Amino acid sequence: MVERKGEGLARKREFDPDEVVEKAMHLFWEKGYSETSVRDLVDATGVAHAGLYAAFDDKEGLYAAALAKYQKLVSETLYAKLLSADAGLAAIREFFGFIKMASKAAPFRNGCMMANTSVEFGDGNDRLNKLVHANLKKLTSAFKNALANAQAGGDLSADRNIDDLAAGLAASFQGLSILARARAPQKIITGAVHAALAQLD
- Looking at 3.40.50.1860, 3.40.47.10, 1.10.220.10, 1.10.357.10, the CATH number of the domain 70-198 comes to 1.10.357.10
Does the pTM exceed 0.75?
Answer: yes
- Please give the pLDDT value at position 107: 86
State whether residue 73 is helix, strand or coil: helix
**Mean pLDDT value across the chain:** 91
For the stretch 158-182, pLDDT in tens is 999 999 999 999 999 999 999 999 9
The Cα 92–Cα 88 span in angstroms is 7
